[in-house]
Structure formats: C-alpha cells, structure tokens
Structure 1
Amino acid sequence: MTDIMVLGSFTATCGQSSFVPTAAKPRQVLALLALQADRVVTAPTLMEEIWGEELPRSAATTLQTYILQLRRKLSAALECDAVEAKDVLVTLHGGYLLRARPERVDAQQFERMAASGGRAFEAGDDRTASQLLGQALGLWRGPALMDVKVGRVLQLDVVRLEEQRMTVLERRIDADLRLGRHGELVPELSVLAARHPMHETFCAQLMTALYRSGGVCRALDAYQRLRSALVKELGLEPSQRLQRLHQAMLSGEEFADHRSFDTAHSRTAARLTNRTTAA
C-alpha cells in the first residue's frame, strides 16, 4: 500500500519502507508524480519541472534514468510485496503515472474534506463545517513540499495548495465565529494577524472576535495596525469593507457578520501580501 504525504515534508512509503530518493532531481520527479497521483504526467512536463527552458540534449535519456532509479527504490520498498515496481510507477501515454489510492494521498484527502466542509459552510451548517475544515487543516504538517527543491511546474501546485489552505482556514474561522467561539479564537487570530499584517480577512475576523468578546479597544487597535501596514507598504487605505466594520465598532452598532460589510469579499490586499512576501 502506497502512502504519499506532500502537505509538509515529502514522504512516500510502501508499507513501512520509504522510496523517496535523496538526490534533488529524482526527488523532484517523484514529488510531481506524487502530487498528481493516479494521473499521467507527460515527459515534457517532467522535463520542464527539472530543467525549465534550458533543456540539455540528454534530457529525455536522463529522465528515463531517474525513472529507473525510482523504480529501483520502489523495488526495495516492495521486497515482500507481489506488486512489481513497474505496476506502481507506470509508463503510459507518453508519460508516467504513480498509482496510489486517493485516500492514501494527503493532498487529495485535504481537497475532499475542504470541499465537503465548504458545502456545509455554504449551507449554514457551521458545526459540521468547522469540524470538517478543521480536520482538513489538521493534515498539514508545514508548507507543502517543504524539503523538495521545486521548479516552475511544482511551484504552481504548491501555490494552489497554499491558497486553498488559506481559504479553508478563513472559512473555518468564520464558521467558529458564527458558532459564538469569539474568545477562543482571539489567540489564534492574533498570531495570524501578526504573521500576515496586511491580510484584511484575518484582521476583520480578529476585530470581530475581540469586539464580540468585549475587547472593543483592542479591535480598534487591530484596525489601526492593518491601516498603518497598508499605507506604509503599499500606499493604500483599507478596503471599504474594513472601513465600514471599523465605523460600526466606533458607533457601537450591532452587525451579523464581518462579511456583511462587503458582499464582494475582495482579497486584493491578501494577494499583494503574498506577492510582497514571495519577493
């Protein structure tokens, strides 16, 4: 049975034996095949991941060598198994496919749980949403493929997974806010707002949690910290959503949800934050 974990350090095992190579390029190949488990990855895609646009003349032959090395690692891991390595790492349709059941790949588990939790959230079943989204987040052990050198193909998958992770986290917190868990959320949201000082959704969630738990002054301070960061780093004021939330708190108004102040729910500041951090 093949187990693949990419949400953190990269592991791929058969039984109790790992078949992840230590060499950087074969490791990249296996990581891309693992992330696309049970789907064909073409040889040109694998070569683009390893070498980018600067393909050596021997690229096709070298890729075949890496596949053979991976199959040898698989053979060692499958020493007591009747399955042959070529039936797990398959040559197919001009590319390669790594066989693995979806329930044995943490990224695919995450996406399924996230989708189920998202449906519960949209249906207003906040208790179920919080549970499912929390379980999905619990699969993460660190940044995706944190110990793999990634090329431009894997980088897109890593960014996609990290974006999904942030969306799931935002939704889980929103579900918990709607469940009235304001005081419980303050420590977590304080850390998130500090780590992402220009992320408007985390700031709005922190402001709501503080306001609902009696920390009006701290909620207003959180807004000012966000505003200062946006003005200093980007020359931008907070969105209308945040400004309206801030005004409602200054006025002592009642409001149902921080999201009610902006139905469009723009994430412009969050995207700019990610770009700034990446640079």
Structure 2
Amino acid sequence: MNERSNAERAEAVTKYTVEIRSINEDGAIRLRDEGLAVAREMGVPGFLAVYSRTGMEETTQVQGAATLLNVEVARAKIKTVLAVRRSSRLQRERMAEKGQTREDFGGQLGSLFGGGIALFADEARTQFIGAMAFSGGTQEEDEEICRRAVERIGLYTDVDPVLTQSVNEEQANDRLQTFTFDGEPLRVSYQDTEHVAEGVECDVYRFEGDDTKDLGIIKVKPGFSTPRQRVLDGDRTIEGYMSGKGKLIITKPDGTIDSYSFDQDTLNFTLNVRIGEIMQWQADTEFPLVASEVCFPPYNNDRYERVA
C-alpha cells in the first residue's frame, strides 16, 4: 500500500480543490441589521432574508407590519437570485431584452420583482457568495434597502448604485423624465396631477416635441379602483401595466369581459382599448397599482364616459 505523507496530501488538496466563499452567519446578521435599519429610515415595513450561496437560509426578520405575502415574495426573489446569480430586476430586464420566458429556465426562477439582490465578495462581481431580499415596499424601495445594506458593510452587489439613486430621486420628486413607448425611451414633461376618484390619482405628461399624444400615469392605492370608463373618442387609447399588483378589466360592447392580472412577475404589457369598450384598473387589497395611459390625440373631457 502506497502511503503518502501529510505534506503530499496537503499539496494534493491545494492542487485539486478550490475554495468556495459564501456569506457566513456574521455577515448575514450584519446585512439583516443594516437592512432593517434602512427600512426603518425609509418607513417601509416588510420581510428580509439572507441566504448563503448554497441555498441555506442564514437569517430572516420581519420589519413592522409585514404580511405573509411579503414573506413568500422575498423568498421567491431569493430563489431567482440563487438560480441565475443575478439580481431579480436585472434578470427580468435581461429576459425582456433576449425575448426569454420562464419556460426557458425550466422552473428554476421565482419572483422577478425588484428587491432580490446577488451578493459578491469582489468588485469584479465574479465571486458570488449569496442572496439577499426584501419585500414590503415598491420594487425600487425593496432593492434600495438591500443595496444600501450591502454598501454599508463593505460587500458588493450587481445593482448599479448610480441607477438606483437616479430611480429613487425620480420617485422622490414623483416626476418622470422619460417614458418608454414602442420600445423607445421618450422625453416627457410633467403637467399636472388630477384627482380621479377616491384612492386614484393621475399624473399628466406631454411628450416633448410631439403634440400627437399625451401620457397619464395612473396611481391606484391598495383596495381601490379607477371608475369604469367607456371609450367614446380618440384614434388610439393604450393602457399599460407599470408596477404593483392588480387587474385590468375590459368589458366589450357585447358584454364579454376580459380580465388581465398583473404582479411583480409581469414583464411587458400594453393593450389598445377600442371605442365602445369599458375599462377599469383594480388594485390588489394589499398592494398599490401603477398603470400608464397613452392617448392619440391627447386626452380631452369628451374622450370617456363614466358608467355604473
């Protein structure tokens, strides 16, 4: 029997194995504590989770009035990050760019809602060490909570802090600078905010250098709906899902009803509502809903009629 010395065995271990880094318990607890501190600063309740690169749960914590759905969504974001080693929002954007669907990933993906982030040990983002997720606010808020926590303890993530900051600044100002229409980002200018109904507001924008259409950003609070409106006029009325959770209900002139449901996994959705059809946006009981409306020509008071 050929027995090897300890030195030879040590050399073999060095030669034939690799060291795999992962977030450890201390790191996960620091991320949790910093993430919860950020969530409190931002006034966002929810559920936070940190997992190792091997899929082991390191720590979880509820912040404020979190719901069971927050727990499920956060863990679904973790599933996505662990499967692709990429933050959930970036994975959603990548799939949209490549024309991919969930079927292309054989059931490995969870939620594609922003707020699940990949953790890395190096600035080059090559040493994946785990996943962190928060659920409870908007997808931008969830992502920002995680990003700030990672930044505070000195690790790395693939979420661009400049992009996140610009998104948050835009949200803080509550004004869009651009709007993507037919795949092209277009400059827009805020005009006014209209109170549509209880729990519903609409920010009105014009497209810079284009008087053929205008834009409305419809914001529906949890548990509320837009009025049922019949389209009476206009060349095109294009409704689009932006964020949140809820439904768009379309009633056709013959009484047929089409219902479209949306949540954090919805990628791109627009619908041309025809003259004579009745439309209504309905927010989920626990989550707000944000939708877009592009009108050709620009909106006027004779475009819709409210119906019971």
Fold similarity call, TM over 0.5: no
- TM tier, smaller: under 0.3
Using the size of structure 1 for normalisation, the TM-score is: 0.25
* Greater helix fraction, Structure 1 or Structure 2: 1
Of the two structures, which has the highest relative contact order with CA contacts closer than 8 Å and spacing of 6 or more? 1
Higher strand share: 2
